Amino acid sequence: MAEKITMSPDGVLTVPDEPIIPFIEGDGTGVDIWPAAKLVLDAAANKHGRRIEWKEVLAGEKAFNETGNWLPNETIEIFKEYLIGIKGPLTTPIGGGFRSLNVALRQLLDLYVCLRPVRWFQGVPSPVKRPDLVDMVIFRENTEDIYAGLEVQEGTPEAKRLIELLHDEFGWEIRADSGIGVKPVSITGSKRLIRAAINYARERNRKSVTLVHKGNIQKFTEGAFRQWGYELVREEFADVAVGWDDCGGKPGDKILVKDVIADITLQQVLTRPDEFDVIATTNLNGDYLSDALAAQVGGIGIAPGANINYVTGHGIFEATHGTAPKYAGQDKVNPGSVLLSGVLMFEHLGWRDAADDIVRALEATIADKIVTYDFARQMEGATEVKTSEFAAAIVDRL
């Protein structure tokens, strides 16, 4: 009998062998990639004596067409109740409503970690010489920074009042024809994000955590993020981690916590990728960095993502790319992003055996050059297959 996933009093997920997991099919190509991913996820779970009861919830265009609401309250309540869910890509409404449905879900459920592992799979086309050196896990803060949406539009009375206030109170000279945004970065938001990154590094035997920031310019937001990170290491993790300045870059058997300016990071992940392991960073930096890294290992078409609150146990695992509506219903696009997000979900649930099986089967399928069009056009001698056929080929190799 299927049961809910629950959180134990000591903060550990309790996962039955037949869990109920809510899913959002997704807009655009969601109609193609979700069934393909589900086929593989179900096969891998069944192989190990488990079964998922999928519970569909609505968001995006499908929700709007059926309910008149882009993000129904019922969807939020179900994710709250069942803790863990998975979703395809969602359309962002134009001309009003939510700035982004994805951002809305993260903020409404306080999913403060955006987890983006980036690694290369043997045989995947890459624009860099050594994609095999790319094996990083990004912890992107999910609730603050400019994504808080604290903006006023140029030319409005609100913008005029804010510009006048900032001039009168702080002496700031801001052009009258400016739009204004506020960038909050808190101790609470920063430390819980960095705490999650260090805990992940400890649990996965990772060697370093790099704090990526633009603190040389934004001293009291991004610079403070860096400072609070080092404080956290000394306060809570002195037995397992050490900051660069406290060890001279020689951590011994502890996790090394270091920091790099955001702009040079984007260069060094290309030129010295093996020097990065776990990365903890603010919201906008993490957005740029995760997509730039994905480009090194095959693109966001196979980049997984997760939004997690490690305290409450809530998590939504998601395709990281857009909806690509012009390809919808063509059974053509790569389902790798939502499938690998399902792998992340399995790992999070403690189903590492099934997760590892999917990764091995995916690698074997790509090694046999059985791929969707995005890879086929870059691989000599490839057999181009449909989305559903690619999923079936993976299942055959489980």
- The residues annotated with a catalytic role in the active site are 147, 214, 263, 287
Instruction: Compute the distance between CA of residue 302 and CA of residue 319 in angstroms, rounded to an integer.
Output: 8
22 bridge partner residues: 55
Angle between helices 352-367 and 387-396 (to 10 degrees): 110
Q: Where are the alpha helices (DSSP H) in the chain?
A: 30-47, 61-67, 73-82, 101-108, 157-170, 187-203, 222-236, 244-247, 262-271, 283-296, 336-349, 352-367, 373-376, 387-396
Instruction: Compute the distance between CA of residue 371 and CA of residue 379 in angstroms, rounded to an integer.
Output: 9
Return the ∠ at Cα 119 (arms to 203 and 22), rounded to 5°.
70
Q: Which amino acid belongs to residue 134?
A: V
Q: Using CA of residue 108, residue 114, residue 115, residue 119, what is the dihedral sign?
A: positive
Residue 92, Cα to own-chain centre: how many angstroms? 17
170, 40, 149, 44: which is closest to 97 by C-alpha? 149
Give the β-pairing of 113-119 and 304-308: antiparallel
| Token pair recorded at residue 240 | 């397992």
| Token pair recorded at residue 201 | 């590094």
Angle between helices 222-236 and 187-203 (to 10 degrees): 50
| Cα dihedral value 81, 86, 88, 93, nearest 10 | 30
Instruction: Compute the distance between CA of residue 5 and CA of residue 316 in angstroms, rounded to an integer.
Output: 13
Residues 260 and 268: beta-carbon distance below 8 Å: yes
Name the burial class of residue 172, with classes exposed (0-12), middle (13-18) and buried (19+) by CB atoms within 10 angstroms of its CB.
exposed
Name the burial class of residue 53, with classes exposed (0-12), middle (13-18) and buried (19+) by CB atoms within 10 angstroms of its CB.
exposed
